[in-house]
Amino acid sequence: MPLRSSRIRGFVTLVILLLIPLSGPVWSVDLPGFVRGEANGDQGVDISDAITILQYLFGVSNELPCLDAGDANDDGAIDLGDAIGTLNLVFGGGPAQLPPPFGQCGTDPTPDNLGCLIPSCSFGPIVDERPFTLETGRSGLPYRGDLPTFRQEGVTWSIGPQQGIVREEISFDEYGLLLDSTLPGDLTLDPVTGAVTGTSLAPGIHHFEIWGRAGGEEVSLIHCTIPWLSEDESQWISGQDLSGPGPYPVSSLNSSFNFTHQLPWPPPYPLYVCSTQQPPDTEHLESKAMRIYMPAGLNAPAPLLIFHHGSGFDWADYSNLLEHLASHGVICVSVNDPFPYFPYTDWYCWGGHDEAARVLLEVRGIISQLEANPAHPLSGMIDWNRLFYSGHSRGGGTAMAACEFDPDVRGVIMLQGTDARRDSWIGHTSRWKRLPDIPVLSVTAEQDTDVTYPFSERILERFTGPSTTVTIYGGCHGFTSDASEIGCSSCLWQETAPEVDSCTYITRDLQQKLTRHWVLAFLRRYAFDDLSTGGLLYGDEEQRSSYFSVNSRSNLSSPLVIADFDNFPLSNLSLPIVSSNMLLFESGSCYDWPFPLPQPIDSISNLVFILSPNGVSSIGIPFGSPTSPIDIGPRKRLLLRLKNHDIHLALDNLGYPYNATLSLTDANGRSAEINLRDYLPGEEFHPEPAPPLTQVRLKYQRFITVAIPVTSFLEVEPLLDFSSLTGMTVQFVTDGSASEDIRIGLDDIRFE
């Protein structure tokens, strides 16, 4: 039951009161349903319903208005048992109620082939809708996906007490399928918890719709997607170059609109590096330019990406990226929104993310109006199930903030994005403890001197949906744009401080090429339901790259998490993690520069350790005992995140100044040891430095996700029993040649 084509989406202008309500969609639609036992559809269960069932069974009547309603015992058939069950209910000879839906209008939680030709009731209203990507399934793995547990009752800013954003979360108390719909394969829905479980689906992308009811009345419509891989993951295709132009010619349409910004006082949440004086105005009217990049020759509705530039950047300075995406069939919209960097620089901290997010929502509403105009080139050309927010720098943080205000979005792309939780210049809030549960691509730059690397590490810890973080080696902040040098030091890279961490050492062309490649890979996956880029986004295709580091959380169903170090020194199996010959062994963040101020920064629960400078150091992570081992079942790989430590703007170790092995042991005492270095990047120097004759030794100081096939251990010990593993040991060997402490970060050890 697709509703987006008939929905009315309106984004309202905000008025500064004690509470500022944020914009949202307007609804006037109910869902059709039935009440079990109401066989004749007269809005009540009585003896006449039993008579209607008997007349149907004995041929007096040719049909029931709603077969599902007549199936009083919910056994998937209409028979005498339904008439008897109805009579027992009416005369008190049986249970006091029938199976759901009973007592209020709903749909069948156990779908069958009966159907409901004439619904007897409706329920709702639908108050919001959103797309949602459930966990990825893989043949051979037991499947469980979990639907959102709550809906958001609007968003407000509390002005007086500096409480900041207020998001009332109303828990769903019931879930259901749309009338006469079924789940794909053998999946089943738990109507109370929202868990979707099963074992078997055909490989591919599966779509279906679920409703969630909160408070007994208001309904959210959830457009669900389940990606499903074959056991051999053959849907993943490696070696694709996605940086080149697509098949569609691109034209641009320019437009503008007026927007009223708010300058509330006092600010709605604690801010830093912000004027203590009241702004000269309470609001500011500004004309916003807007450019639409249109693929020519589309024959069906296309995805839409709304893009916000960085502060201090020219809004029209992203054509290289946006024209590229449009040439591949994505309608892109870029908006000019310098407020409040201009003209209210002293109050930049107030509007950096939230006011900009309001602008993105306004653009969404304007594009919706244009698409509804039969005379406009956008008429009927947008698929609102495939909407993405994106941005650079402040615009990246803005894209994420917009999802807080309205989660009806397919995914977010952050390019060197700021952190609305701990950005001292644009806002410092209690928000973003847990980021929205949507697919995210975050692209950062290693030598960025504006939005520095702690941002990406902190945000990575708080992603809750499928996510990929890419750090482009040698890149800088401004090279994402077409001309700006902001956050790009023009010095010549060399192995001295501070040049080692601050000097850009690749070209703008290379950074833009790599950015185009990753952004299109993400959009191919989520805008075009293309599973082929999964190995790039979530597999091991680029884990040894010398161009970028890749961190990913694939959201694959049924992972076996060994240690995420949230409860260090215990693992997720509640067993103690041990070490030998370490100079440091603790949970924390693996960098030494707590930028940006102010303190305190958010804690990060990596395992941080310093190796002995000359000798053997080891980490032991028990899985169980010989009498109580773990069984990894059909899981195919062992994954972990690893990085070298970084002392920012100081000389540190480059490359991997150690050898390392990783071994698994089973309950029979058998052990298999692999060379961990075989799964780490092997190149010592960057393959395309700038200037060309420069030799740049790679630091490898950003986290990478390391995937090790379990078959690698069988090549060493064919009898290793994965159904009875007892532990894992990582051993590091150093030779005394390192110039600095060898400090390493480790996180998120799991089998998938």
Q: CB 344: neighbour CB atoms within 10 A?
A: 18
State the DSSP string of 513-574.
HHHHHHHHHHHHHHTS--GGGHHHHHSSTTTT-SSEEEEEE--BSS-EEEE-STTTTB-TTS
Q: d(Cα 88, Cα 98) in Å, to the nearest integer?
A: 10
Q: Are residues 37 and 77 in the same domain?
A: yes
Least confident range of 224-238, 281-295, 602-616, 623-637: 602-616
In a domain, 496, yes or no: yes
Q: Which of 247, 65, 52, 221 is nearest to 151 (CA)?
A: 221
Contact 519, 537 (CB under 8 A): no
pLDDT of 22 reads: 43
- Both structure tokens of 376: 């406009």
Is residue 712 over pLDDT 70?
yes
Q: Are residues 305 and 219 in the same domain?
A: no
pLDDT of 125 reads: 92
Confidence category of residue 269, pLDDT binned at 50, 70, 90: low
Torsion on CA atoms 642, 646, 651, 656, rounded to nearest 10: 0
Contact 515, 480 (CB under 8 A): yes
Q: Are residues 13 and 38 in the same domain?
A: no
In a domain, 237, yes or no: no
Q: Are residues 363 and 473 in the same domain?
A: yes
Confidence category of residue 430, pLDDT binned at 50, 70, 90: low
In a domain, 235, yes or no: no
Identity of the amino acid at 501: D
The CATH code of the domain that includes 220 is: 2.60.40.10
Q: Are residues 84 and 204 in the same domain?
A: no
In a domain, 245, yes or no: no
Q: Are residues 587 and 615 in the same domain?
A: yes
Q: How many structural domains compose the chain?
A: 4
Q: d(Cα 404, Cα 157) in Å, to the nearest integer?
A: 12
pLDDT of 268 reads: 63
State pLDDT tens for residues 504-535: 999 999 999 999 999 999 999 999 999 999 99
Contact 605, 457 (CB under 8 A): no
- Both structure tokens of 2: 């697709």
Q: Are residues 568 and 587 in the same domain?
A: yes
Burial 457-491 (b: 16+ CB within 10 A, else e): bbbbbbbebbbbbbbbbbbbbbbbbbebebbbbee
Q: Which of 582, 610, 630, 619 is nearest to 728 (CA)?
A: 619
pLDDT of 419 reads: 79
Q: Are residues 73 and 103 in the same domain?
A: yes
Residues 534, 538, 541: CA angle, nearest 5 degrees: 80
Q: Are residues 491 and 435 in the same domain?
A: yes
pLDDT of 597 reads: 44
Average pLDDT over residues 250-262: 94
Average pLDDT value for the chain:
88
Higher pLDDT, 219 or 457: 219
For residue 737, count CB atoms less than 10 angstroms from its CB and return exposed for 0-12, middle for 13-18, buried for 19 or more: exposed
State the DSSP string of 647-707.
-TTS----S--SEEEEEEEETTS-EEEEEGGGGS---SB-SS-SSTT---B----S-EEEE
In a domain, 566, yes or no: yes
Q: Which residues contact 707 (CB under 8 A, 6 or more apart)?
A: 539, 540, 543, 637, 638, 639, 679
Is residue 601 over pLDDT 80?
no
Is residue 653 over pLDDT 80?
no
Tell me, what DSSP letter sits at residue 34?
B
Q: Which of 610, 619, 585, 652 is nearest to 742 (CA)?
A: 610
The DSSP bridge partners found for residue 675 are 661
Taking CB atoms within 8 Å and a gap of at least 24, the contacts of 270-275 are 270/162, 270/164, 270/428, 270/429, 271/349, 271/350, 271/427, 271/428, 272/349, 272/424, 272/425, 272/428, 272/597, 272/598, 273/349, 273/424, 273/425, 274/346, 274/347, 274/348, 274/349, 274/350, 275/346, 275/347
Question: Of all residues in the chain, what percent are helix, strand and coil, respectively (each to 5)?
Answer: 15, 30, 50
State pLDDT tens for residues 731-740: 999 999 988 8
Burial 366-393 (b: 16+ CB within 10 A, else e): bbbebbeeeeeebeebbebbbbbbbbbb
Q: d(Cα 152, Cα 128) in Å, to the nearest integer?
A: 9
- Both structure tokens of 319: 């054509």
Q: d(Cα 353, Cα 432) in Å, to the nearest integer?
A: 12
The CATH code of the domain that includes 477 is: 3.40.50.1820
In a domain, 243, yes or no: no
| End-of-domain residue from the set 122, 156, 179 | 122
Is residue 155 over pLDDT 70?
no
Least confident range of 6-15, 356-365, 403-412, 633-642: 6-15
Average pLDDT over residues 386-391: 98
Q: CA of 749: how far to CAs of 176, 553, 618, 743, in Å?
A: 35, 12, 16, 18
Q: CB 151: neighbour CB atoms within 10 A?
A: 22
Q: d(Cα 305, Cα 329) in Å, to the nearest integer?
A: 11
| Rg value, the chain, Cα | 28
Q: d(Cα 24, Cα 359) in Å, to the nearest integer?
A: 13
Classify 53 as helix, strand or coil.
helix
Tell me, what DSSP letter sits at residue 12?
P
Average pLDDT over residues 558-569: 95
660: Cα within 13 Å, side-chain hemisphere? 18
Q: CB 207: neighbour CB atoms within 10 A?
A: 12
| End-of-domain residue from the set 194, 229, 264 | 229
Higher pLDDT, 310 or 94: 310
132: Cα within 13 Å, side-chain hemisphere? 28
pLDDT of 562 reads: 98
| End-of-domain residue from the set 528, 553, 578 | 553
Q: Which of 737, 745, 10 is nearest to 372 (CA)?
A: 10
Q: d(Cα 118, Cα 748) in Å, to the nearest integer?
A: 52
The CATH code of the domain that includes 727 is: 2.60.120.260
Q: H helices of 239-342, where? A: 319-327
Confidence category of residue 720, pLDDT binned at 50, 70, 90: very high
pLDDT of 193 reads: 95
Contact 50, 86 (CB under 8 A): yes
Higher pLDDT, 16 or 618: 618
In a domain, 280, yes or no: yes
Does a cis peptide bond (omega within 30 degrees of 0) precede residue 626?
no
Q: Are residues 508 and 580 in the same domain?
A: no
Q: Are residues 60 and 197 in the same domain?
A: no
Domain membership of residue 313 as a residue range:
250-553
Average pLDDT over residues 239-262: 95
pLDDT of 15 reads: 28
Q: Which residues contact 456 (CB under 8 A, 6 or more apart)?
A: 442, 444, 469, 471, 702
Contact 555, 411 (CB under 8 A): no
Is residue 709 over pLDDT 60?
yes
Q: Are residues 173 and 317 in the same domain?
A: no
The DSSP bridge partners found for residue 92 are none
Classify 157 as helix, strand or coil.
strand
Confidence category of residue 730, pLDDT binned at 50, 70, 90: very high
Is residue 103 over pLDDT 60?
yes
Confidence category of residue 324, pLDDT binned at 50, 70, 90: very high
Q: CA of 56: how far to CAs of 74, 78, 245, 490, in Å?
A: 17, 9, 63, 83
Q: d(Cα 21, Cα 110) in Å, to the nearest integer?
A: 39
The CATH code of the domain that includes 114 is: 1.10.1330.10
Q: Does the pTM of the predicted model rise above 0.85?
A: yes
Contact 490, 500 (CB under 8 A): no
In a domain, 240, yes or no: no
Classify 476 as helix, strand or coil.
coil
Number of H helices, E strands in the chain: 12, 37
- Both structure tokens of 285: 């009217």
pLDDT of 9 reads: 34
